[in-house]
Amino acid sequence: MMSILQTVGTILYLYSMCYVDAACLLMCQCTGMAMDDLKGMIREKAIEHGFKLCRITSPQLDNRHIQGLQNWIDADMQADMNWMAEEVRLQRRKQPESMLPDVQSVITVAMPYTPPAYSLDEACHAEGQGVISAYAHGDDYHDLMKKRLKALAADLDVILGRHDQRVFVDTAPVLEHALAEASGLGWQGKHTLTIQRDMGSWFLLGEIFTTAEIEVDEVAKNHCGSCSACINICPTGAIVDPYVVDARLCISYLTIEYDGFISHHLRALMGNRIYGCDDCQMVCPWNSHASQVTLRLHDQNEWNDPLKPRGENHLPDLASLLHLDEDGFRKLFRKSPIKRSKRAGLLRNVCIAMGNSGNTLFVDDLITVLADDEILIRGHAAWALGRLSDTENYHRIGTELSHYSQREESSVVLEEMNITIEYLRSKYDYT
Ligand code: B12
Ligand code: SF4
Ligand code: SF4
C-alpha cells in the first residue's frame, strides 16, 4: 500500500516539476528577465545531478585558444597522441560550432573529486610506495560523468523544450579548458588546468552543446598573478612556458598514454609516480584551501565522492603491484581508469619507481620480472636493476642479467640489459 502511495506521490511530484519547467520556458520566451530563471533552473538541475559548477557560453572560441592549439601541434607537443593532430579532428577542436548543427549554447559543468590526502613531500618520500594521481583513486570518471550528463540532458529536454543537444566528456575533439574559461566556470592556470576559486582544480569537466539559445555567462578572470609555483615544481620541466605543457615531457602522458620505452633521462625524473601526476596541482595555492575544505568535509562524513576513492590506490605498495598477473591486474583495476595503462604500462612504471627508490630490497622483485612476457616490463626492470646496484649486489645483478640476456628475443630489451651490464662493468669492474 505504502509503495503505491509513494509511486503516486512521485508521479505528482514529477508532473509538478514538468509544469514548473514548462511555465518557466513560456516566461523565457516572453520576458528577458526570465532568462536568469532559466539559467538558475539549469544550474539547479546540474547540481541535483552531482555537478558542483555549471555555466553557459557560446560555441565560438577566442582566437588565443585557436592559435595556442595550432602552435602546440606545430611544435609536436601532442607526442604520440596522434588523434590530437589529425586534421579533421583538429579543425573540429578549433570550431566547437562544427560539433552539432545549429548549436547556439554550450553548458559547461564540473564534477569534483577527492584531492590527495597527503602532501607532495609525503607522497614523494613514501618508502616502497608509488603515487597514483587523485582522479584515478576511484572509479573511471568517464562512465559516471557521461551518465550524469545524459540524465541532465533529459531534464534539459523538459526545461528547454524543442532543441537538439550532445553531451561531451573528454574523449571528443572539444577544447574543454577554453569553453570552461569562456563560460566563467574557472580560469586556465599556468599549468593549463582549469581552476575555480573554491574548488581549486580538483574537478573534471564536461559539456552539453544545445541548439537552444541561453544567455551566456561572463568570461572567468585569471587569478594566477605573478605565481609560478607549478612551473617551478614540475619534475620534468614539462610546463615549458606559462599555459603550455609539452606532453612529451609530462609524467601524466608518460605513465598513462604512452605505451613505449620511456627515455632514460625522463625515467630518472619520474620518482615514484606510477599513474598520472598531480605535482603541479598540489603546489597551486588555489588548491591548498580547496583541499583543506574537502578533507574536513570528508572527515565529517559530509563529502560524498561519487568516484569512491579506493584504499588500495592510496600510495600502493610497489612490490605487490609488480607481482600482479594479468588476471590480478584486471580484478584489481576493474572499473578503474588505471586499466587504461594496461598491466604492461603500469608495471613498467612500477619498475621505474623501484629503480628511483634507492631501495635495494627491490632487487629480488626486479630479477623475477626479467622473465615476464612483456618487453616493457623486462626492459625497464633491467634499467631499474642498474639504478639499484651497489658494491654488495652488483655481481648478482650482472650474473642474472647476463643469464637472461642469453635467451632474450627482443632487441630493445637486449639493449637495455647490455646497457646495464656495461654500466656495472665500468662502475664496479664487473666481469
Ligand atoms: C590531451 C590531454 C592531456 C595531455 C596534454 C595536456 C595538455 N595540457 O594539453 C596529458 C596526457 C599530458 C594530460 C594530462 C593531464 N590531464 Co588531461 N586532458 C587532455 C584533453 C583530452 C585535451 C587537452 C587539450 O586540448 N590540449 C591541447 C592543448 C593545446 O591545450 P592547452 O594545454 O589547454 O593549451 C591552451 C593554452 O595554451 C591556451 N593559451 C594560449 N595562450 C594563452 C594565454 C593565456 C593567458 C591563457 C590563459 C591560455 C592560453 O591555448 C591552448 C588551447 O586552448 C583534455 C580533455 C579535453 N577534451 O579538453 C583532458 C583534461 C585537460 N585533462 C584533465 C586532467 C585531470 C589531467 C591531469 C591532471 C591528469 C593527472 N592527474 O595526471 C594531467 C594534468 C597535466 C597538465 N598539467 O596539463 C582534465 C582537467 C580538469 C581541470 N580541472 O582542468 C581534462 C579537462 C579532462 C576532463 N574532462 O576533465 N591531459
Ligand atoms: S602533471 Fe606533473 S609532469 Fe605534467 S606538467 Fe604537471 S607537474 Fe609536470
Ligand atoms: S601554481 Fe600559481 S601559476 Fe600555477 S596555476 Fe596555480 S596559481 Fe597559477
Residue 308: its pLDDT value, please?
A: 86
Backbone φ and ψ of 185, nearest 5°: -65, -40
Q: What does the alpha-carbon distance between residue 361 and residue 425 come to, in Å, rounded to a whole number? A: 22
What nine digits make up the cell of 403? Answer: 643469464
The backbone region for 76, taken as left when phi is positive above 0, alpha when psi lies in -120 to 50, beta otherwise, is: left
Strands (E) in 214-363, as ranges, are 239-241, 244-245, 273-275
Residue 35: its pLDDT value, please?
A: 66
Of 233, 251, 266, best ligand 2 pocket probe by most atoms within 8 Å of the beta carbon: 251
Residue nearest (by alpha carbon) to ligand 3 atom 4 = 230
Q: What does the alpha-carbon distance between residue 380 and residue 288 come to, in Å, rounded to a whole number? A: 35
Residue 32: its pLDDT value, please?
A: 43
Q: What does the alpha-carbon distance between residue 394 and residue 397 come to, in Å, rounded to a whole number? A: 5
Taking a C-beta distance cutoff of 8 angstroms, is the pair 318, 359 a contact? no
The backbone region for 82, taken as left when phi is positive above 0, alpha when psi lies in -120 to 50, beta otherwise, is: alpha
Q: What does the alpha-carbon distance between residue 361 and residue 319 come to, in Å, rounded to a whole number? A: 10
Walk along the chain (431 residues) and give the pLDDT tens digit of each residue: 334 443 333 333 333 333 333 333 434 443 343 667 899 999 999 999 999 999 999 999 999 999 999 999 999 999 999 999 999 999 999 999 999 999 999 999 999 999 998 999 999 999 999 999 999 999 999 999 999 999 999 999 999 999 999 999 988 999 999 999 999 999 999 999 999 998 999 999 999 999 999 999 999 999 999 999 999 999 999 999 999 999 999 999 999 999 999 999 999 999 999 999 999 999 999 998 887 777 777 777 777 788 889 999 999 999 999 999 999 999 999 999 999 999 999 999 999 999 999 999 999 999 999 999 999 999 999 999 999 999 999 999 999 999 999 999 999 999 999 999 999 999 998 88
Backbone φ and ψ of 337, nearest 5°: -65, -20
**Ligand 2 close to Cβ of residue 279 (< 6 A):** yes
Q: How far is the CA of 233 from the centre of ligand 2 (A)?
A: 8
**Ligand 2 close to Cβ of residue 239 (< 6 A):** yes
**Ligand 2 close to Cβ of residue 367 (< 6 A):** no
Catalytic residue among 21, 139, 164, 170: 170
**Ligand 1 close to Cβ of residue 65 (< 6 A):** yes
Instruction: Give the global pTM.
Output: 0.93
Q: What does the alpha-carbon distance between residue 333 and residue 232 come to, in Å, rounded to a whole number? A: 33
Which ligand has its closest atom nearest to the C-alpha of 115? 1
Q: Which residues line ligand 3 (CB under 6 A)?
A: 189-191, 224, 227-230, 283-286
What nine digits make up the cell of 212? Answer: 537552444
Residue nearest (by alpha carbon) to ligand 1 atom 28 = 69
What nine digits make up the cell of 238? Answer: 614539462
